[in-house]
Structure 1
Amino acid sequence: MSRADGVLRRWNPHGWIRLHEPPTGRVCVAGLPGSGAARLADDLRRLGLDVVSDGPAAVAVVVFEANAVVGHAELALLREAAAETTATVCVLHGVDERPDWPAIRAADLEILHRHAPWSEGAVLLPVTARPDHPEASTLTGLRDVLTATLRAATDPRRARAAVVAGTRLMIEEEIARLAQEDDEAALRDERARLVASARATPAPDLRRLQVELLHETATGLRATATAALGTLEKDGDVAAVAVVDAGLDELGARLTAALTGVAPEVPPVVLTRTPPPPAGVRSLEDVLTVVFGASAGAGLGGLLTAPFRTLPGWTALPVAVVCAVPAAAALVRVRRRIAHRDRMRRWVTEELAVARAELDTWVRTGVHAAEAHHAAGRDRHATRVRDRVAALDARIARQRGERRVRLAACERDLAALGHPREPTSGRMRRTG
């Protein structure tokens, strides 16, 4: 088997089989519903032709309607008929019912020449059943044309030339399809989206967030200190402790929400709390206060007993004692309250100072952890994008290579079939 025969067998198995079967004198009549193909087939049978509607045939008669130009359906039917037979005759049926059929025929010819290159040797005959029609062929004339076409189609050389021409058309259509094929469009779009997403992924401005959180920490603690000290002066130490606890809880919740919003892996803030100083504690100041209170009370008693100094000496002593004891007790109570309030102020200051140190450390540590987490996530995403882009590039290159291989195979098959020969006088005349 020659290389050309191998190409014919692979690309056009029906044509290959037709070349190796005994020549047939059959005519296949095909047409769309309503075109009159069935009636024309019956007329040709009555005239003695071997007409079939399906199966192997040497000549195909494709029936077009005279009331409309050919469309995609007619071209597809003509394409199928040309691939299955050696010669094709196109018939414009029903011209006796349309006076403007010459314009329809001219438009059909233009469409056939432009969109049906396989119909180069086809004949477009206007056919009528009226024997006196001046321009159209009669059924007898169509029979004579088909008889001559059948004689030419049974020539082995012509049959092989027709199969080769049909096979060349198949290969050329495949080459055109491969040239216009763009299987990589979706892959290129996905690659562009991946690259764009890798470039456009915004990283959180954690340093700016750190500055904002530290500023919010200082502002919140300052507001809590002001509120706690004011409450201490107005409502006492219990209310001041409640203000401190509420302020620290609220500030910790705000900071946790702000930082975990961009870094969910950061644990919530937990502050160290110390109990406030007890109110009844005794210290060295209390002893000094008692001494100073007794001295002040004794002096106050002496001042009050000065008018009674004319009495005996021991008589003024009870008066001095009675006056000194209440004065000393009142002074001790006042001094203890002042001392406890001072201790509460120091406790508030120290509690908020410790809280600020812990909050500053938590914010800085959380921001550092968030930066490390986002950097790791960015690296993982970049790695995934890089691997996917590399896989897409390899797939695009593979598909391009496969398409180049198929195109090269098609070109080799065309070269094996040889160059198409120019139409000779023995061939059917060109359409139109």
Structure 2
Amino acid sequence: MTPPSGLVDPADDVLRRWNPRGWMGLHRPAATGVRVVGVPGSGAGTLAAELRPLGGLDITDDGRAVTLVVFDPSATIGRTELDLVRSAAAESIEVVCALTGIDRFPDWRAVRDADVEILQRHASWLPRVVVLPVSAAAARRARELEGDASEAVRQTLLTASGLVELRDVLAATVRSSHDPRRARAAVVAATRPMIEEEIGRLSAEDEEGGLRAERSRLTAAAPPATSGPDLRRLQVTLLQEVAMRVRAASTAAGEVLETADADAVVTTIDTHVDDLCARLTDETARIAPGTPAPEPTRTARPPQTARSMEDTLTVVFGASAGAGLGRLLLTPFGDLPGWMSLVVAIACAVPAAGWLMRIRRRIAYRDRMRRWIADELATVRAELDTWIRTRIHETELQSTALAVAARDRHATRVRERVAAIDAEITRRRGERRARTAACERDLAALGHIPEPQGAGVRPTG
């Protein structure tokens, strides 16, 4: 039944979209010619040249009515021949196949049977599979014998060539192709495999393979490792350096103490401490730029000590030793007046006591200074050790925070990319399902084609 005026026949729309050549052929006057095609070396040109003299056919390049596809009997057909058959079916109403050159290949029957089986399996959309064996060489000999032999011999040779049967089949096919229903059925038969091929391609299509592989790689990959300075090793190194520098400062201060006063000792200690602080600042700046320099307690002049009981005892011991020395000096002179002995004893005791007191005070001063140097440097070392441990701890906290932030950013990027991949996979699958459903609807529309009403489908004049 013809669709009402103004409405588009769904099947006609499917044919127009999938097989525009075939659809246009249905709406143009039908051709009465036969187009002969074949792969290079198949003998299609020779066969066409022998069909023309037989008459009854219009051998032309326009194959809108019937196409004759020529095969070579030396081997079974392959993908190239199948593609040629498919192309011919899309452009013409009927396809007839011929196997030419059978006179040169005794095993042509096995080749023809194999060709028929291949066509039935891979070109099942053909309304009928016809492979006619012919010999263009035999037809040419028959034509060359015209006038030189009896008509019976020539006709026998011509019939044996198979060209007469091929011409009659082609002529009948051309006549039957004028039937609108047959023409439309042929176009539909050629259009169906196009749609089925597209459905098969969509089913086998795997556009998401690369996306799925990327998704698996992202979800399985470990977060990037954050490589930072070896803070523990640096801490040990700096603490060892502080210990060595403090010992060096103590040695230098002790050497200065032997020949200089307390101010020189203080200057020596401050110089060593300043150098050490500068060294520590340079080392920590490499791992934590902007770290404030250490500020240990500055060294003050050692306090003056008051006279102690030890000084008094030193005077007493010095005076006693001096008196004993005086009596020792008077021994060779024999008896002297008592007042003379007392004067000599006092004269010896006073300088001896003073000298001994000065020596003892000097020794005590150096001892106090050494203890003071040790205490001062111990305080500096403790402060610097605390500063180093504090800086290392703060740097560790900063490094940990940076690592956590980097892992969080990486995890966020991975989640966003995985979400984008999932959305893209869903979109592509949805598009493929929609296209497959559209193809299936087109196939269903081709399965319910209304009967064409006479010349309204295609003028045949």
Q: Given the two structures, how large is their TM-score scaled by the length of structure 2?
A: 0.74
The count of corresponding residues between Structure 1 and Structure 2 is 405
Match of 2:167 in 1: 143
- 1:191 maps to 215
- Taking the aligned partners of 2:241 and 2:120, their CA distance within structure 1 comes to 91
Judge conservation of contact 2:99–2:132 (CA < 8 Å) in 1: yes
Question: Whole-Å Cα distance in 1 between the matches of residues 40 and 50 of structure 2?
Answer: 17
| Distance change (3 Å), C-alpha of 1:299 and 1:161 | farther
Tell me how far apart the structure 2 counterparts of residues 360 and 3 of structure 1 sit (CA, whole Å).
Answer: 84
| 2:37 is equivalent to residue 30 of structure 1 | yes
CA contact (8 A) 2:302 2:369 kept: no
1:26 and 1:58 in contact (8 A); partners too: yes
- Alpha-carbon offset, residue 359 of structure 1: 2.5
Task: Summarize deviations over 1:343-378 as a string: whole Å, max 9, x none.
Answer: 222233222211222223223323333333333333
Check 1:340–1:274 CA distance in 2 against 1; reply closer, same or farther (3 A cut): farther
Partner of 1:225: 243
Whether the 8 Å contact between 2:296 and 2:383 is mirrored in structure 1 is no
Return closer, same or farther for 1:34/1:299 CA change in 2, 3 Å cut-off.
farther
2:400 counterpart (371, 377, 391): 371
Q: How does 1:207-356 map to 2 (within 5 A)?
A: 213=232, 217=235, 221=239, 224-225=242-243, 228-229=246-247, 232=250, 236=254, 260=287, 266-267=288-289, 270-274=292-296, 277=299, 281=301, 283-285=303-305, 288=308, 297-308=318-329, 311-356=340-385
Distance 1:96 1:242 in 2: 116
Contact 1:293-1:327 within 8 A present in 2 as well:
yes
Q: Give distance in 1, aligned partners of 2:271 and 2:117.
A: 97
Conserved in 2, the CA contact under 8 Å of 1:225 and 1:244? no
Corresponding residue number in structure 2 for 1:76 = 83
Unaligned segments of structure 2, at least 5 residues: 1-7, 140-155, 257-267, 331-335, 451-461
Aligned equivalents of 1:73, 1:325: Cα separation in 2: 130
Percent identical residues: 43
**2-side partners of 1:237 and 1:103: how far apart?**
117
Alpha carbons 2:277, 2:294 under 8 Å: kept: no
Relative to structure 1, the CA distance from residue 406 to residue 292 in structure 2 (aligned partners, 3 Å threshold; closer, same or farther) is farther
Q: What RMSD in Å do the two structures reach over aligned CA positions?
A: 3.9
Is the CA contact (8 Å cut-off) linking 1:286 and 1:336 kept in structure 2? Answer: no
Which of 198, 201, 215 in structure 2 is aligned with 1:177? 201
Look up the equivalent residue of 1:181 and give its one-letter code: E
> Within 2, Cα distance between the matches of 1:21 and 1:69?
36
Distance 1:78 1:247, change over 3 A: farther
Contact 2:65 2:92 in 1 (8 A): yes
Larger mean CA deviation between 312-321 and 132-141 belongs to 132-141
Partners of 2:11 and 2:442 within 8 A in 1: yes
The alpha-carbon deviation at position 21 of structure 1 amounts to 0.9
What is the deviation of 1:275?
Answer: 7.5
1:268-289: per-residue Cα shift (whole Å, max 9, x none)? Answer: 75551447747xx553348658
Alpha-carbon separation, structure 1, partners of 2:272 and 2:408: 46
SS at match of 1:70: coil
Counterpart of 1:26 in structure 2: which amino acid?
G
What do residues 235-272 of structure 1 show as CA deviations (whole Å, max 9, x unaligned)? 94689989878888888877777xx5xxxxx5475551
Partner of residue 124, structure 1: 131
The DSSP-based 3-state class of the residue aligned with 2:125 is helix
User: Where does structure 1 lack aligned partners over 5 or more consecutive residues?
Assistant: 261-265, 422-432
CA change 1:286–1:148 in 2 (3 A) is farther
Alpha carbons 1:294, 1:324 under 8 Å: kept: yes
- Counterpart of 1:304, as a letter, is L
Output the amino acid matched with 2:303. Answer: S
Q: Which has the larger radius of gyration?
A: 2
Residues 130 and 243 of structure 1, relative CA distance in 2, 3 Å threshold = farther
Does the alignment pair 1:52 with 2:60?
yes
Question: What does residue 95 of structure 1 align with?
Answer: 102
Contact 2:326 2:344 survives alignment (8 Å): no
Q: What is the CA–CA distance in structure 1 between the aligned matches of 2:180 and 2:205, rounded to whole Å?
A: 37
User: Which amino acid in structure 2 is aligned with residue 191 of structure 1?
Assistant: R
Return the TM-score normalized by structure 1: 0.78
Q: 1:408 aligns with which of 423, 427, 437?
A: 437
Q: Would the alpha carbon gap of residues 130 and 16 (structure 1) be closer, same or farther in structure 2, given more than 3 Å must change?
A: same
Deviations 1:16-56 (A, max 9, x none): 11001111011112222222222222222333332234x44
Write the distance in 1 (CA, Å) between the matches of 2:306 and 2:157. 142
SS of residue paired to 2:52: helix
What per-residue deviation string (whole Å, max 9, x for no partner) do you get for residues 140-170 of structure 1?
Answer: 3322222122122222211110011122222
